[in-house]
């Protein structure tokens, strides 16, 4: 008990109000840094992007703003880590204090005296005048049978407090304040997070794998606000991609990862190969678009629900918040789409939202549309049928089957994360995207969609509509008369032709031409998709 006399009295009477106040101050700093970062995007970089600022000055100006916002994010992460250390320290020190006080109280209740230095005095059960009595020693031994246990409990409580305090001090020392003004600080913060998490009992290994969205939603709901803040700050890469978590949480986590990726590319810009250069340009364009829409009305704001730079790249972006929308649509694009085409897909999602808003009582504010490009879409040159036929990817179901489970997890995750009454969910798809949707809906419990729309489909990986989980009465197929992709591939290797009456789906009237005209402004093709998203039946304009 060498250190008990020095620490016993301090721990026994310790007032933790100062530590709790410090924890609260770091929490306020965390929130202030988050406000500064988001405010920079909404009030500075966003408006500048929207205004079309360009040129050499714009290039360097935006680079400086991105670096500043990244530093704010790194500082926010570090502030959150410090808060977690202090909060955990307070919790564990108070637990040690309770153990100490209980040990002292139990010892005193048993008749012992606990001195100011933490020593437990033996109980005097028999008058010392009778110490020569043969029964004296036995009586004393029985009366002090628990003496060693009380002393051990006091020693253990003090030792635990000393250990916790030492661990916290070391962690705080490792969180290097000099990283706050460096672009590489985010990587160091990620390393610190692993150590802080271990101290707080919050491990990366405890994060769900995302394959069971409802379990992930339940896990998140069971966390305290402090635990949620830690996981989002410390492990944004995992949190951002978990289906079933709130949209706003995933968006913030993925934006953190996006900033870190852009910082990494920036620091290595002179040595980037072709693929990384293309990914850098694509991610920079994505961030620019996110920044532009930060100042938009709430229902038009963008939410980044995932991205990946492997192969041709992927991205999931929502226009509006699916967690609060009455009508939610998931649009799955087809052949030729990749990370560098994400802005075009966002534009398409925005068009669908506006079209649905025209049919919804609450307007576009009732609607959220997600552009879901989270599969490896086949590459194709749309200039000729011959080149399409030579492209092996588009002629097989392999990539559709590979993406099917991820799409199911995503739609089930939307259900799990939605707030309030069940949202009306529509899954739309174009071209090879309809093959992905068909493969996803035909297995694993389906997509849990209320309505489904496929346009320009070469096949849905099924022979009949009743092989899917969607009610055939709510499966709408739209095909332009001159859509040569549907005409070329329908009823071949990707399944039966969905526009064939024998397939069993409902025909949706379209008045546009070609394979990519289904979203033309002012068209019935677009209006009908909007009507279905808002829960209405499409207009009948004649045979298509």
Q: Which of 201, 234, 258 is the last residue of a domain?
A: 201
Long-range contact set of residues 470-473: C-beta below 8 Å, sequence gap at least 24: 470/441, 470/446, 472/504, 472/505, 472/506, 473/506
Q: What percent of the chain has pLDDT over 70?
A: 91
Helix (H), strand (E) at residue 59: helix 56-109
> Is the domain of 171 the same as that of 302?
no
Q: Counting beta carbons within 10 angstroms of the beta carbon of residue 106, is it exposed (0 to 12), middle (13 to 18) or buried (19 or more)? A: middle
Q: Write out the DSSP string of 87-130.
A: HHHHHHHHHHHHHHHHHHHHHHHTT-EE-TTS-EEPP--S-GGG
Q: Is residue 240 part of a domain?
A: no
Question: Are 184 and 333 members of one domain?
Answer: no
Question: Residue 146's CB: how many other CB atoms inside 10 A?
Answer: 15
Whether 211 maps to a domain, the answer reads no
Domain check: are 25 and 156 in the same one? Answer: yes
Nearest CA-CA partner of 468 in 502, 433, 503: 503
> With the C-alpha atoms ordered 257, 259, 262, 268, is the resulting torsion angle positive or negative?
negative
Could you tell me which residue, 146 or 32, shows the higher pLDDT? Answer: 32
- Of 136, 319, 324, nearest to 246 by C-alpha is 324
Domain extent, residue 335, equals 296-533
CA dihedral 500, 505, 510, 516 (to 10 degrees): -80
Checking if the pLDDT of 32 tops 60, the result is yes
Per-residue pLDDT of 157-207, as tens digits, reads 999 999 999 999 999 988 866 555 555 566 777 788 888 999 999 989 999
Greater confidence (45 vs 206) lies with: 206
> How many domains does the chain divide into?
2
Q: pTM for this one?
A: 0.84
Asked if the structure places residue 333 within a domain, the reply is yes
Q: In terms of domains, do 177 and 323 share one?
A: no
Residue 77 confidence class, pLDDT cut points 50, 70, 90:
confident
Higher pLDDT among residues 389 and 522, named by residue: 522
Q: Is residue 475 part of a domain?
A: yes
**Contact 514/486 with Cβ under 8 angstroms?**
no
Domain-embedded: residue 236: no
Burial of 347 (0-12, 13-18, 19+ CB in 10 A): middle
Q: What is the DSSP letter of 444?
A: T
In a domain, 539, yes or no: no
Asked if 340 and 398 touch (Cβ cutoff 8 Å), the reply is: no
Return the higher-pLDDT residue of 503 and 395.
Answer: 503
**Contacts for 536 with CB less than 8 Å, ≥ 6 apart:** 359
Q: Per-residue confidence at 125, pLDDT binned at 50, 70, 90?
A: low
Structural domain includes residue 18: yes
**pLDDT band at residue 544 using 50, 70 and 90 as cut-offs:** very low
pLDDT of 60 higher than 90: no
Boundary-marking domain end, from 201, 236, 265: 201
Question: Does residue 34 or residue 161 have the better pLDDT?
Answer: 161
pLDDT digit string, tens, across residues 313-367:
999 999 999 999 999 999 999 998 999 999 999 999 999 999 999 988 888 999 9
Residues 423 and 308 in one domain: yes
| CATH number for 462 | 3.40.50.1820
For residue 210, being part of any structural domain is answered with no
Q: 300 and 197 in one domain? A: no
Q: Can you say how many angstroms the Cα of residue 378 is from the centroid of all Cα atoms in its chain?
A: 27
Q: Are residues 22 and 161 in the same domain?
A: yes
pLDDT value of position 126: 61
Quick one: CA torsion of 450, 242, 259, 304, rounded to 10 degrees? Answer: 10
Same-domain pairing of 191 and 304:
no
CATH code of the domain in which 147 resides: 1.20.1260
Of 529, 528, 530, nearest in space to 539 by CA: 528
Structural domain ending residue among the three candidates 166, 201, 236: 201
* pLDDT, position 233: 87
Same domain, 317 and 190: no
| Per-residue b or e along 294-309, where b marks 16 or more CB atoms closer than 10 Å to that residue's CB | bebeebebbbbbbbbb
Residues 341 and 480 in one domain: yes
Q: Give residue 71's pLDDT band: very low, low, confident or very high (50, 70, 90).
A: confident
Residue 388 has pLDDT above 50, yes or no: no
């Amino acid at each position: 008990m060498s250190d008990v006399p020095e620490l016993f009295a301090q721990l026994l009477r310790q007032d933790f109000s100062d530590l709790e106040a410090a924890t609260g101050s770091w929490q306020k700093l965390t929130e202030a840094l988050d406000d500064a970062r988001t405010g920079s995007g909404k009030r500075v970089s966003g408006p500048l992007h929207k205004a079309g600022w360009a040129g050499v000055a714009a290039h360097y100006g935006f680079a400086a703003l991105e670096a500043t916002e990244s530093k704010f994010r790194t500082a926010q992460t570090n502030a959150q880590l410090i808060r977690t250390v202090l909060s955990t320290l307070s919790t564990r020190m108070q637990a040690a204090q309770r153990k100490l006080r209980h040990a002292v109280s139990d010892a005193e209740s048993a008749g012992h005296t606990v001195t100011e230095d933490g020593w437990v005095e033996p109980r005097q059960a028999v008058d010392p005048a009778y110490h020569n009595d043969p029964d004296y020693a036995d009586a004393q031994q029985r009366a002090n049978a628990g003496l060693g246990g009380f002393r051990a409990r006091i020693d253990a409580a003090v030792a635990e407090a000393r250990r916790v305090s030492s661990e916290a001090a070391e962690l705080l020392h490792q969180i290097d304040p000099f990283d706050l003004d460096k672009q590489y600080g985010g990587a160091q913060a990620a390393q610190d997070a692993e150590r802080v998490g271990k101290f707080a009992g919050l491990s990366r290994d405890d994060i769900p794998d995302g394959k069971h969205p409802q379990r992930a939603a339940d896990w998140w709901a069971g966390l305290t606000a402090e635990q949620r803040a830690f996981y989002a700050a410390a492990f944004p890469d995992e949190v951002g991609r978990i289906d079933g978590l709130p949209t706003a949480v995933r968006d913030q986590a993925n934006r953190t990862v996006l900033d870190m990726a852009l910082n990494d590319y920036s620091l290595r810009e002179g040595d980037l190969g072709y693929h990384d250069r293309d990914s850098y340009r694509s991610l920079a364009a994505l961030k620019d678009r996110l920044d532009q829409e930060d100042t938009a009305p709430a229902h038009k704001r963008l939410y980044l629900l995932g991205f990946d730079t492997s192969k041709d790249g992927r991205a999931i972006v929502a226009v509006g918040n699916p967690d609060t929308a009455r009508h939610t649509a998931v649009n799955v694009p087809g052949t030729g789409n990749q990370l560098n085409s994400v802005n075009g897909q966002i534009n398409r999602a925005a068009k669908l939202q506006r079209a649905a808003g025209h049919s919804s009582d609450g307007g576009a504010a009732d609607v959220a549309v997600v552009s879901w490009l989270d599969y490896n879409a086949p590459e194709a040159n749309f200039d000729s049928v011959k080149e399409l036929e030579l492209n092996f990817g588009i002629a097989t179901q392999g990539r559709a089957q590979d993406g099917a489970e991820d799409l199911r997890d995503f739609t089930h995750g939307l259900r799990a994360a939605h707030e309030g009454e069940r949202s009306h969910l529509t899954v739309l798809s174009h071209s090879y995207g309809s093959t992905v949707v068909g493969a996803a809906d035909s297995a694993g419990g389906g997509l849990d969609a209320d309505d489904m729309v496929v346009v320009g489909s070469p096949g849905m990986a099924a022979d009949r509509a009743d092989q899917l989980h969607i009610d055939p009465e709510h499966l709408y197929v739209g095909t332009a008369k001159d859509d040569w992709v549907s005409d070329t591939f329908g009823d071949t290797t990707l399944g039966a032709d969905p526009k064939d009456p024998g397939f069993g789906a409902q025909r949706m009237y379209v008045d546009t031409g070609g394979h990519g005209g289904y979203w033309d402004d002012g068209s019935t093709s677009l209006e009908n998709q909007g009507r279905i998203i808002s829960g209405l039946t499409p207009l009948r304009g004649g045979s298509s």
